[in-house]
Amino acid sequence: MSDQESARRDPEQLLDRLDTTDCHYCDGDLDAGTYKGSEAILCEDCGTPAVRVW
C-alpha cells in the first residue's frame, strides 16, 4: 500500500503531515488540535481550521 493510500485510511497520518504547513488565510503556523469536538489542524494565530476529521 502506498503512503497516499495509507493517509486516506489513517486520519492521524494525514493530520501529522499537515501539522507543519502554513495557514492559507494569515500565513500563521498550523498545529494539531480540536475544533468543535473533532480532531483538526488549526492555525495558532487566527484559529481557522485547515483540516477537520469527524
Helices (H), 1-54: 3-9, 11-18
Share of the chain above pLDDT 70, in %: 70
Strand, coil or helix: 8? helix
Its pTM stands at: 0.63
Considering just the CA atoms, what is the radius of gyration of the chain in Å?
11
Q: Which residue has the higher pLDDT, 43 or 7?
A: 43
